[in-house]
């Protein structure tokens, strides 16, 4: 699909981060877009940003509240989108929505683990199921599923459990690769790609906290403070001596650093993704760090979870080593 002008795209998680930037760049190219998110205010900001540069005449840009882990909400999103855009088909499906959290099978709750897994993997599955019939009616289509480098390397550091997110992203990668043969046999006019970003500057840390807690407040509760203190102690930090205020400041600073000190912006990542879709690539690594860790894991898979493997890689690509 060399040209997005006049096409219709679905973008999940379009309120922030890479989803927002995908929407902005698709709209700029004349693509009709329906985006979903759990935050109406975040989607409104995305639309406002699109409007500042001017919407092409006749372009449709609609927003829809939907939790991608809930099939009823996904189906409502699909039906609303079809009615508001006045179409029975779509050309592009960006399964982008995701959150972190629930990293440990032991220290974290089952609810937190499954919430993360069900959004990161379930959202891809449910939206593909929901929108595939509309894509079958289009002359050409492309499904773009966001996995992660954690879809082939399940680590964000040797002292930080990451099981829910990594399991989901491995599932997304495997599903997309298997879908290649399914589409070739049953719907050859539809392509699919798996996106594997490295460290991209987004607000996923803050957004994940809000989604897990169901709040827009940045103030941390006493149970949250206690949970963070326990995690820091497990990682070898002297968290007992830290005040509650210091714990909250530590969490806020970590989220800030993740977004502002990342080696690649969300806008740059979106450009890489869209260029790769136009080029027909099915495997889309995003960022120099993604390319480098892919090569390292392939070269020495048995060492991939050793402490030295992580620290050497982090130093090579400039990741911050602070826990």
Residues annotated as part of the active site:
165
Q: Which residue has the tokens 């699109």?
A: 50
DSSP state of 154: -
**Three-class secondary structure of residue 192 per DSSP:** strand
Give how far the C-alpha of residue 291 lies from the chain's centroid of Cα atoms, to the nearest Å: 18
Q: Which residue has the tokens 């050409």?
A: 140
Question: For residues 23, 25, 29 and 34, what is the CA-based torsion angle, rounded to 10 degrees?
Answer: 0
User: How many angstroms separate the CA atoms of 54 and 74, rounded?
Assistant: 29
Number of other residues whose CB lies within 10 A of the CB of residue 264: 18
Task: Report the C-alpha gap between 65 and 43 in whole angstroms.
Answer: 9
CB-based burial label for 202 (10 Å; 0-12, 13-18, 19+) = buried
Measured distance CA(54)–CA(246) in Å, rounded:
44
Q: Which CB contacts under 8 angstroms, 24+ apart, belong to 1-6?
A: 1/91, 1/92, 1/140, 1/142, 1/191, 1/277, 1/278, 2/278, 3/29, 3/278, 4/29, 4/30, 4/31, 4/92, 4/274, 5/29, 5/30, 5/31, 6/30, 6/31, 6/32
- Angle subtended at Cα 279 by Cα 20 and Cα 28, rounded to the nearest 5 degrees: 35
Residues 268, 270, 272: CA angle, nearest 5 degrees = 70
Q: Report CA-CA distances (Å) from 100 to 6, 35, 56, 64, 133.
A: 34, 20, 35, 22, 30
């Amino acid at each position: 699909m060399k040209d997005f002008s006049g096409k219709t795209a679905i973008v999940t998680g379009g309120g922030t981060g890479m989803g927002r930037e995908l929407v902005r760049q698709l709209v700029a190219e004349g693509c009709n877009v329906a985006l979903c998110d759990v935050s109406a205010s975040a989607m409104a900001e995305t639309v406002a940003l699109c409007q500042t540069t001017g919407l092409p005449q006749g372009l449709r840009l609609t927003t829809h509240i939907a939790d991608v882990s809930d099939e009823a909400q996904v189906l409502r999103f699909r039906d609303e989108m079809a009615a508001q855009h006045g179409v029975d088909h779509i050309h592009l499906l960006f399964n982008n929505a995701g959150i972190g959290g629930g990293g440990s099978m032991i220290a974290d709750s089952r609810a937190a683990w499954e919430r993360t897994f069900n959004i990161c993997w379930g959202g891809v599955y449910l939206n593909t199921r929901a929108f595939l019939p509309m894509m079958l009616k289009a002359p050409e289509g492309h499904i773009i599923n966001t996995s992660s480098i954690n879809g082939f390397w399940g680590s964000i550091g040797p002292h930080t459990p990451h099981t829910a997110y990594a399991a989901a992203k491995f599932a997304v990668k495997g599903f997309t690769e298997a879908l290649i043969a399914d589409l070739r046999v049953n719907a050859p006019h539809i392509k699919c790609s798996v996106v594997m970003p490295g460290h991209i500057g987004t607000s996923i840390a803050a957004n994940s906290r809000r989604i897990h807690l169901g709040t827009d407040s940045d103030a941390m509760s006493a149970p949250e403070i206690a949970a963070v203190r326990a995690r820091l102690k497990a990682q070898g930090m002297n968290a007992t001596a830290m005040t509650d205020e210091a714990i909250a400041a530590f969490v806020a600073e970590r989220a800030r650093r993740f977004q502002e000190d990342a080696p690649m912006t969300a806008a740059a990542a979106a450009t890489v993704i869209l260029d790769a879709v136009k080029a027909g690539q099915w495997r889309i690594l995003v960022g120099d760090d993604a390319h480098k860790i892919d090569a390292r894991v392939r070269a020495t898979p048995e060492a991939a979870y050793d402490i030295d493997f992580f620290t050497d890689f982090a130093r090579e690509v400039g990741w911050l080593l602070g826990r």
